[in-house]
């Protein structure tokens, strides 16, 4: 049986972010998903607010066609451990009648769900440090090479205080993409640069030799797109 997870990205208006956290941390919400075999593995909140422009109705006031409204939003990522088969359609249909789920969903401005398979199983992590979500998109010819080689630096990084919280390969949405989640209590600056370049500066590759550095440099060249988000756990 395959190991499936559901990667859920949610945008919530900044003024409603705490309300969203409170609803998700309500034990009743976890109880709703339990009969379906779903378990919330990670609940992460982005540190940097995002601006979202969109036209929409708000109360009795309707925005003119073609107009936009800018909102400051907080990006949340929930990663659910789901069974095989996950039965997504059935779960979503049955949840529409639940008041707790509807209350949580009503706060969300935008939600994107993608089914993913585990390219590297998650290791247990703390919840007081920094989570780094790294999303990469690959040319088809490079995807297999990344999945195969990306496990090589993991023992070294973990010996330097970096915990790999899984590598997840997309089965829906943008294909040929892999999302990694890392956790560290070390200082990490999400400045411009490739992931392993920044990890090297933050001490994640301490003790590595030229061979390991070459592997990491090669891993950095395989994707044609990479973007990251520094996040905190909001689960209680």
* 37 DSSP assignment: T
> How far is Cα 37 from Cα 130, in angstroms, rounded to an integer?
28
> How far is Cα 148 from Cα 143, in angstroms, rounded to an integer?
9
What pLDDT sits at residue 66? 56
List, run by run, the mean pLDDT of 10-residue segments along the chain (236 residues).
86 96 91 90 94 57 55 95 83 86 91 94 90 97 96 96 96 94 94 95 93 96 96 95
What residue ranges define each of the domains in the chain, with the CATH number in brackets?
4-57+66-115 (3.30.70.100), 119-233 (3.30.70.100)
What pLDDT sits at residue 104? 87
Task: Return the bridge partners of 112, or none.
Answer: 9
What pLDDT sits at residue 181? 98
What pLDDT sits at residue 65? 55
What pLDDT sits at residue 64? 52
User: How far, CA to CA in Å, does 130 sit from each of 44, 67, 134?
Assistant: 10, 38, 13
Residue 120 burial class via C-beta count within 10 angstroms: exposed 0-12, middle 13-18, buried 19 and up? middle
What pLDDT sits at residue 214? 96
């Amino acid at each position: 049986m395959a190991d499936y997870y559901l990667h859920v990205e949610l945008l919530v208006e900044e003024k409603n972010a705490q309300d969203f956290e409170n609803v998700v941390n309500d034990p009743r919400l976890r109880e709703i998903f339990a009969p379906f075999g779903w378990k919330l593995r990670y609940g992460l909140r982005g540190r940097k607010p995002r601006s979202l422009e969109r036209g929409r109705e708000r109360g009795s006031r309707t925005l003119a066609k073609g107009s936009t409204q800018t909102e400051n939003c907080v990006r949340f990522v929930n990663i659910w451990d789901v069974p095989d088969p996950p039965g997504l359609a059935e779960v979503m249909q049955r949840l529409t009648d639940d008041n707790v789920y509807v209350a949580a969903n009503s706060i969300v401005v935008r939600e994107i769900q993608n089914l993913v398979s585990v390219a590297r199983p998650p290791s247990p992590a703390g919840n007081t440090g920094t989570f780094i979500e790294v999303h990469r998109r690959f040319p088809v010819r490079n995807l297999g090479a990344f999945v195969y080689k990306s496990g090589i630096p993991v023992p070294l990084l973990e010996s330097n205080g970096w915990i790999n919280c899984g590598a997840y390969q997309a089965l829906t949405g943008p294909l040929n993409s892999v999302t990694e989640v890392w956790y560290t209590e070390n200082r990490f600056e999400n400045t411009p640069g490739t992931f392993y370049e920044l990890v090297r500066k933050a001490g994640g590759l301490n003790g590595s030799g030229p061979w390991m550095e070459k592997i990491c440099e090669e891993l950095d060249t395989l994707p044609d797109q990479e973007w990251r988000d520094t996040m905190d756990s909001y689960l209680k």
